[in-house]
Amino acid sequence: MKTFYSKTLLLLTFLLSIVTISKAQQNEDLLNILIKKNLITQQEADSIRSEQAIKEQAKRDKENENQHNITIGSRALQISGLVQARYQGFEQTGVNDAFDLHRARLDAKGFITDKWSYEVYTEFAANVKLLDAYTSYQFGDYLKITAGQFKVPLSYESLVSDSQLEFIDRSQVVEALAGRSKDVIGNQNGRDLGVQVSGSFAKVNNLYLFDYTLGVFNGAGYDVTTDNNNYKDIAARLGIHPLKGLDFGASLYEGEDIPLNGIKSQARNRYSIDGHFVKGPFSFTAEYLHGKDAAVNKDGWYAQAGYFVVPKFVQLEAKYDTYDPNKTNPTDRTYIYTGGVNFVFNQWTKLSVDYLFRHEEAAVQIKNNILEAQLQIAF
């Protein structure tokens, strides 16, 4: 009985294929007859064939969609990722040279409708962390509302995607004051839970002169289930774009947060100004950040330049980076001078090599220079 059903199914499949092929052949024969009778031209026949092929492909694409009408790579679901394998060689005694997985991330995002979008971005290196998880509604270029977990609009460099950084590491002051590795609230990857509005306005020659972001956040950081204090923090950023390739920005953050291992909340306020310029193979970025945690004032700034000596392939870079964790202490400022080279093999793959020369104001200097190399795959 099973053999009978198998043979019957095979016969039906064969007959269906014959019918499909016959139908296609009939359409082709009909077009040839119309051409011979001079009822249509060869160009018109080719146009009909092209339209039919497009319809058939659209039909096949529709049949390949699952029950939720989602296909990989469509507007509804776009999958991307980032892998950064790093080597660090330390001059400092007692610190071991090592390879590590700097970042390993998977990103899923898309549009449910023309207005509604979402993103879920996860880190898998070391410990699994949910970085971004939000939804947005776009009223127009002038207004978008975003709710969930995402980057706080503070500092130009903090907002730059990890895959687009020109150097392997972010600047000291950004790490210390923008909710990253050296912030008093711990490493939050520059993110928090909240809601924000953003948009662009004053369009001239297809270029918006201004963009803005205003958000309200817990202040407790990312990937947490509850807020650790009863205050809500406010962050705002204004971008100015007077010319193509020239951008200026300013950020402001006002908060009341519990520091890492702290027992009571304290003021955590920030402001920053920045500028960014790109012209052909040359790029330049500078930024200043100031922070106040309780009564302690902190600040720092960096300036960096890059130039593609081989167009779109070999980029040479230099950076000056300084940070003072306590303005009342005259001997705790740190300076880092970084020289680097990027080999951009294609839009997905990049090899970066940086050398960091570190100098402290302290009387006793530590030999803590670092050589870093990082291979990046972004897809």
Is the model's pLDDT at 240 over the cut of 50?
Answer: yes
Is the model's pLDDT at 196 over the cut of 50?
Answer: yes
* End-to-end Cα separation, the chain, in angstroms: 51
Q: Give the pTM.
A: 0.80
The fourth-level CATH superfamily of domain 78-378 is Porin (2.40.160.10)
Determine the angle formed by the axes of helices 42-64 and 2-36, rounding to 10 degrees: 150
**What average pLDDT does this structure show over 75-86?**
94
Task: Determine the pLDDT at residue 172.
Answer: 97
Q: What is the pLDDT of residues 29-66, one digit of tens each?
A: 676 777 776 777 877 777 777 777 777 766 655 544 44
- Check: CB of residue 106 under 8 Å from CB of residue 100: no
Task: Write the DSSP assignment of 25-63 as a string of letters.
Answer: HHHHHHHHHHHHTTSS-HHHHHHHHHHHHHHHHHHHHHH
Percent of the chain surpassing pLDDT 90: 70
Q: Is 135 exposed, middle or buried (0-12, 13-18, 19+ CB in 10 A)?
A: middle
Task: Determine the pLDDT at residue 46.
Answer: 76
Gap between the Cα atoms of 363 and 360, Å rounded: 8
Q: What is the pLDDT of residues 130-166, one digit of tens each?
A: 999 999 999 999 999 999 999 999 999 999 999 999 9
Q: What is the mean pLDDT of the chain?
A: 88
Which range, of 65-74, 229-238, 286-295, 323-332, averages the lowest pLDDT?
65-74
**What average pLDDT does this structure show over 210-216?**
98
Distance of CA 351 to the CA centre of its chain: 18
Phi then psi dihedrals of residue 363, to 5 deg: -65, -35
Task: Determine the pLDDT at residue 26.
Answer: 59
Which range, of 48-52, 79-83, 230-234, 290-294, averages the lowest pLDDT?
48-52
- Check: CB of residue 176 under 8 Å from CB of residue 300: yes
Is the model's pLDDT at 16 over the cut of 70?
Answer: no
Structure tokens belonging to residue 18 = 């014959």
Task: Determine the pLDDT at residue 260.
Answer: 82
Tell me the pLDDT band of 75, cut-offs 50, 70 and 90: confident
Q: H or E stretch including 355?
A: strand 349-360
Length of the chain: 379
Task: Determine the pLDDT at residue 69.
Answer: 52
Q: What share of the chain is helix, strand, coil (3-state, %, to 5)?
A: 20, 50, 30
- Please choose, from the candidates 336, 337, 344, the residue with its C-alpha nearest in 3D space to the C-alpha of residue 315: 344
